[in-house]
Amino acid sequence: MIPELGHFALILALAVALVQAIIPGMGLLRRRADWMAIAKPAALIQFALVLLAYGILTYSFIVHDFSVLYVANTSNSELPLIYRISGVWGAHEGSLLLWVLILSAWTAILAMYSKHYPVDMGAGVISVLGFISIGFLLFSLFTSNPFIRLFPVPIDGGDLNPLLQDPVMAIHPPMLYMGYVGFAVPFAFAIVALVQGKLDTAWARWVRPWALTAWVCLTGGITLGSWWAYYELGWGGWWFWDPVENASFMPWLTGTALIHSLAVTEKRHALRNWTILLAIISFSLSLLGTFLVRSGVLTSVHAFASDPTRGIYVLAFLGLVVGISLSLFAFRAWQLRTLTPFSLISREMALLTNSVLLLVTMLTVLLGTLYPLILEALGGGKISVGPPYFSRVFIPLMIPVVFLVAIGSLIRWREDSLSTLIKQLRTPAILAIVFASVILLLLPGKASFTAWFALLLAFWVINSCFVQLQQRLRHSQGLLQGLRRTPRGWYGMILAHIGLGFTVIGIALSSVYSQEQDVHMVKGDTRTLGEYRFELVDVERITGPNYQADMGTIRIYKDEKELMTLHPEKRIYNVRKNVMTEAAIHSNLLRDLYVSLGEQRNANTGAWSVRLYYKPFILWIWLGGLFMVLGGLLAVTDKRYRLEVKQEKVKLDANHVTAS
């Protein structure tokens, strides 16, 4: 009975979403305040209903209600509680429901804040979000209903994919979805601006915190996903240019461009069309990501359900949403073009250049991801486009982007002189050369130009951040007061840019200086990797809550001193019989020691296949991601957004009075 209640709640949510989309939307066009007033309660009710449905599905998981098909497929009586809760989004139907839940949650939050926006803007945005919600609710109800019953009721369930039975994997999808769905809000704002043919600096100030929040979630989701792949997949890789990864990376690239372009639109009232286009593209790419993952048109290492009928639905929905919004852009954006002047040497230009480069990068990733599909559709046969291609095109495009980050955050708005700029950047540049060279000399192993160049770029960015700090403090009386007066948004930017530098350092040093061995070892064997010696002490059989495992004991020595003991595992999960590699990793800021246990190669000699890795500075990749997230969070919480939103409201109301 309870699952039917969930099903019913979902149907009701669809009905409410229809109301939420249509009535305020009509109100916006007909200028009827009473119709627009429906927006807020409708958004809140829809959220409550979706939350109820989601709660019921979670409840079904917790109590092992295997009469629900979805639960029977993705859960099992042996599954620990935390994975029963995260198992709700462990497969297609549930993750779609999660998507809808997050969308309605964002809408509800927006509705709560809607008193800060003009009535028509708030109603319009909620209406657009309502239309998106309708699409996904229909998708959920008609092609992927999680509440379908199963009869006869099986005794036990088919278990959650063991790859997903991991704490990080439990939070990675919601984070990613919050990012994906988060871009729906800037998108909705952009649509309303196009419909109204009006976009002022206040608009940019309203959108910025939303775009930033989405970007923070997406950055966090991608960082976690990459870290998860690193320790869970068992061969030390952290980014595979897999279609599913690319699907999350493309909106990140344009989202990054969007938050910077929004800054220009807010501060200088320029690049309005560009901002709108980026907002539309970022959300379109989120939808495209859903399509790519759900339709199965692209093969992927990720174990998501795929089904062509679902693919057709998402494709139609994608076509409708993106087609309409790009048409609106084509016919309305021209009216929003701006005349704000700026010179070639100005912050506007630096930020615009970088966002163009980010867009080019996104298009390149998109091309690489879709090229096999396009070629095959044209009858050109099957090809693969993999990491070698992406690295080759991605890195050259990123070099100017990273280079410009330092300039873009130092240069003045509107117009700056080249000579001042050079004067400002001379010290960080020289210091970057010194730092990069010294670090390279300190690192063991042969000197590599690549590593040196990457370090140079990273320190160029990091040093420029300190120059900015110094400049900021120069004009203030007293260090502490200067620091206190500096807005959080500024600190956020600095933190995120330093994070970018860290990530560059991590990628470069770990790729250039990594060492690995893929060997067959019997008990007592040792192998040397750099200055570390690995000894396979033992492999024993252990029993986990829902798996059996071979657990290796590997002792690591440095200079003949015992450093640590690692326990990599090879697990076989009881229900699905999947074999999973649980790598054992010892991390610190300087290096990771990574050990993963393969299969027993030879039963007679007892030889095990073992992979040993030494990866210097790899932690910095995700540390950089963490800094970017923290920076974004600082910027979102900048109090000036809230204050100015209120001021804007007062001003606008005053305008309304004078107008009427």
Decide: is 376 part of the binding site for another protein (CB under 8 A). yes
**Least distance in angstroms from the C-beta of 276 to another protein:** 10
Q: Which is nearer to another protein, 11 or 360 (CB)?
A: 360
**Region from 258-266, 273-281, 404-412, 628-636 binding another protein, contact rule CB under 8 A:** 273-281
Decide: is 395 part of the binding site for another protein (CB under 8 A). yes
Structure tokens at 341: 């002047």
Binding mask 212-251 for another protein (x = CB under 8 A): ---------------------x-xxxxxx-xx--------
CA atoms of 6 and 557, how far apart (whole Å) = 57
Structure tokens at 454: 């990457």
Structure tokens at 306: 């795929």
Number of residues engaging another protein in binding (CB under 8 A):
105
CA atoms of 472 and 461, how far apart (whole Å) = 17
**Stretch 156-215 residues interacting with another protein (CB under 8 A):** none
**Least distance in angstroms from the C-beta of 347 to another protein:** 13
CA atoms of 231 and 582, how far apart (whole Å) = 7
Q: Which is nearer to another protein, 126 or 297 (CB)?
A: 297
- Plot region of 237 (φ>0 → left; ψ -120 to 50 → alpha; else → beta): beta
**SS3 label, residue 32:** coil
**Stretch 288-347 residues interacting with another protein (CB under 8 A):** 291, 295-301, 308, 311-312, 315, 318-319, 322-323, 326-327, 329-331, 333-334, 337, 339, 341-344
Decide: is 155 part of the binding site for another protein (CB under 8 A). no
**Region from 154-162, 165-173, 550-558, 598-606 binding another protein, contact rule CB under 8 A:** 598-606
Structure tokens at 519: 């060997």
181 and 103 Cβ atoms separated by less than 8 Å? yes
Q: Is the dihedral of CA 478, 484, 488, 492 positive or negative?
A: positive
Near another protein by CB under 8 A: residue from 20, 133, 284, 463 = 284
Binding mask 495-514 for another protein (x = CB under 8 A): ------------x--xxxxx
Near another protein by CB under 8 A: residue from 67, 553, 609, 637 = 609
Near another protein by CB under 8 A: residue from 359, 473, 563, 633 = 359
Decide: is 384 part of the binding site for another protein (CB under 8 A). yes
Q: Is 299 exposed, middle or buried (0-12, 13-18, 19+ CB in 10 A)?
A: exposed
CA atoms of 645 and 117, how far apart (whole Å) = 7
CA atoms of 218 and 198, how far apart (whole Å) = 29
Q: Which is nearer to another protein, 104 or 143 (CB)?
A: 143
**Least distance in angstroms from the C-beta of 354 to another protein:** 10
Near another protein by CB under 8 A: residue from 125, 163, 277, 539 = 277
**Least distance in angstroms from the C-beta of 383 to another protein:** 5
Q: Which is nearer to another protein, 86 or 511 (CB)?
A: 511
Binding mask 46-85 for another protein (x = CB under 8 A): ----------------------------------------
Task: At 597, give phi and psi (nearest 5°).
Answer: -100, 130
**Stretch 511-570 residues interacting with another protein (CB under 8 A):** 511-520, 527, 529-530
**Least distance in angstroms from the C-beta of 328 to another protein:** 9
**Least distance in angstroms from the C-beta of 428 to another protein:** 23
**Least distance in angstroms from the C-beta of 265 to another protein:** 15
Q: Which is nearer to another protein, 543 or 658 (CB)?
A: 658
CA distances from residue 355 to 257, 322, 574 in whole angstroms, order as listed: 5, 21, 49
Neighbours of 653 (CB within 10 A): 12
Q: Which is nearer to another protein, 149 or 485 (CB)?
A: 485
Q: Which is nearer to another protein, 439 or 529 (CB)?
A: 529
**Stretch 396-415 residues interacting with another protein (CB under 8 A):** 396-397
Q: Could you report how far apart the first and last alpha carbons of the chain are, in Å?
A: 55
The angle subtended at Cα 591 by Cα 437 and Cα 216, nearest 5°, is 90
Cis peptide before 152 (omega within 30 of 0): yes
Q: Which amino acid is at 619?
A: L
Residues 6+ apart with CB under 8 A from 653: none
**SS3 label, residue 304:** coil
CA atoms of 63 and 46, how far apart (whole Å) = 26
Near another protein by CB under 8 A: residue from 388, 474, 588, 604 = 388
**Stretch 424-453 residues interacting with another protein (CB under 8 A):** 445-446, 448-450
Decide: is 386 part of the binding site for another protein (CB under 8 A). yes
CA distances from residue 483 to 312, 471, 499 in whole angstroms, order as listed: 54, 12, 20
CA atoms of 252 and 394, how far apart (whole Å) = 14
